[in-house]
Amino acid sequence: MARNKIALVGAGNIGGTLAHLIGLKELGDVVLFDIAEGTPQGKGLDIAESTPVEGVDAEYTGANDYSAIKGADVVIVTAGVPRKPGMSRDDLIETNAKVMSAVGKGIKENCPDAFVICITNPLDAMVWALREASGLPHNKVVGMAGVLDSARFRWFLHEEFNVSVQDITAFVLGGHGDTMVPLTRYSTVAGIPLPDLVKMGWTTQEKLDQIVQRTRDGGAEIVAHLKTGSAFYAPAASAIEMAEAYLKDKKRLLPCAAWCDGVYGLDGFYVGVPCIIGENGVEKVVEIDLNDEEKAMFQNSVNAVKGLVEAAKKLMPQG
Ligand SMILES: NC(=O)c1ccc[n+]([C@@H]2O[C@H](COP(=O)([O-])OP(=O)(O)OC[C@H]3O[C@@H](n4cnc5c(N)ncnc54)[C@H](O)[C@@H]3O)[C@@H](O)[C@H]2O)c1
Ligand SMILES: O=C(O)C[C@H](O)C(=O)O
């Protein structure tokens, strides 16, 4: 059986990390595409030369021409610019909306049957833009953010409770921005919901509130440390979890920016929600019960994303 072909559009910090992880996990052969000449070729060769040491089999190709992604099974898009200290993700929209137009066209012409994972920010509006430009079915185009935000939440909870990350679950919904909604009721330590852990005296509501806020600010915290760009190890690991769910038909239930039509009161809109990923892409959006406070936070986040999608519409080249 032929190996999977995984195209990485954008060979920067996340693209390079994705390429490395794909080889280590033997998920398939990798094509790195970038407009920067030499970058995808150099990173591809460097990682290929690590495979004999790791004892894994994967082919690596670097390219500056979209024809290289022809027939890809999965495309992970990180093309565009990241933010620097003092910027919000939304400040990236002008540059990145145009990049999504070009990338969408490249996907449409070369691999219209692929499962496409968008990472480029501002995430929820960019996955919308990429889907529009590619014309692919909505269930085959999805955005990565919720897995990352939930992983950050889990890490901070691990620090608070000193319990293995394996025993901590978390769900962060909504747009990937300041309005994201970490759901404490649906986040647990070994199945015990966080509000119950407060009642048990294992933590305080005040500490929990601080962790929720740190999760919302998680991206900015890394940007402030790095100064030259944004997080890339955890974002790459998160996208790999989604790609693996598709390639291995794992039916993972993950928080992703998925197309919501007839769920959560939405009629055709990309935003972070729990969804099942398997061989058919996004196979189901799962509508969980939200209380009034959670509904209000989710709606606030949807409104923020709506504004960005409207802005993206004006920036996308017509036709
Ligand atoms: N969704 C998330 O949770 C999440 C997490 C981290 C970063 N991001 C976003 O991911 C994006 C990439 O981050 P990074 O750290 O890898 O940035 P980076 O600057 O290291 O890499 C981006 C790459 O895109 C390339 N590029 C630019 N325009 C292109 C085009 N038209 N076609 C192909 N390639 C093009 C650049 O040459 C560069 O190599 C940023 O927008 C960042 O904000 C999102
Ligand atoms: O914060 C950023 O700009 C990058 C990304 O969205 C993140 O959450 O790490």
Per the CB < 8 A criterion, the answer to whether 238 and 148 are in contact is yes
Kindly give the number of the ligand 1 atom that is closest to the alpha carbon of 39.
39
Instruction: Please state whether beta strands 5-9 and 74-77 pair in parallel, antiparallel, or not at all (unpaired).
Output: parallel
ipTM exceeding 0.95, yes/no: yes
Work out which ligand 2 atom sits closest to the CA atom of 148. Answer: 8
**Under CATH, to which class is 146-314 assigned?**
alpha beta
Residue with CA closest to ligand 2 atom 7: 219
Q: What SS3 state is found at 122?
A: coil
The tokens for 313 are 């519409």
Q: Write the pLDDT tens digit of every residue in 217-247.
A: 999 999 999 999 999 999 999 999 999 999 9
319 pLDDT tier (thresholds 50, 70, 90): low
pLDDT tens column, 117-165: 999 999 999 999 999 999 999 999 999 999 999 999 999 999 999 999 9
Whether residue 30 is predicted with pLDDT greater than 90 in this model: the reply is yes
CA of 83, closest atom in ligand 1: 43
Element (H, E) at 101: helix 93-110
Q: Ligand 1 test: best mutation among 14, 149, 153, most atoms within 8 Å of CB?
A: 14
Among 89, 178, 308, the mutation site with the greatest number of ligand 2 atoms within 8 A of its Cβ is 89
Query: Is 185 labelled as part of a ligand binding site?
Result: no
Domain boundaries, the chain: 5-144, 146-314
10 annotated as a binding-site residue: yes
pLDDT of 249-289, one tens digit each? 999 999 999 999 999 999 999 999 999 999 999 999 999 99
d(Cα 123, Cα 144) in Å, to the nearest integer?
8
3-state helix, strand, coil in the chain (%, to 5): 50, 20, 30
- 96 is known to lie in a ligand binding site: yes
| Average model confidence (pLDDT) across the chain | 97
Cβ–ligand 1 distance for 305 under 6 Å, the answer no
- Count of Cβ atoms closer than 10 Å to residue 6 Cβ: 26
Q: Is the CB of 145 under 6 A from ligand 1?
A: yes
The answer, yes or no, to whether residue 202 has pLDDT greater than 90, is yes
pLDDT for the residue 316: 85
Q: Does 75 have pLDDT greater than 60?
A: yes
Please name the residues in contact with 280: beta carbons below 8 A apart, sequence gap of 6 or more. 139
- CATH node for 5-144: 3.40.50.720
Adjacent-strand bridge partners of 158: none
Closest CA to ligand 2's atom 9: 219
Query: Does residue 115 register a pLDDT over 60?
Result: yes
- Half-sphere exposure of residue 156: CA atoms within 13 angstroms, side-chain side: 24
Ligand nearest to the CA of 17: 1
Q: Which of 241, 252, 257, 263 is nearest to 174 (CA)?
A: 257
Residue 209 in this model has a pLDDT that exceeds 80: yes
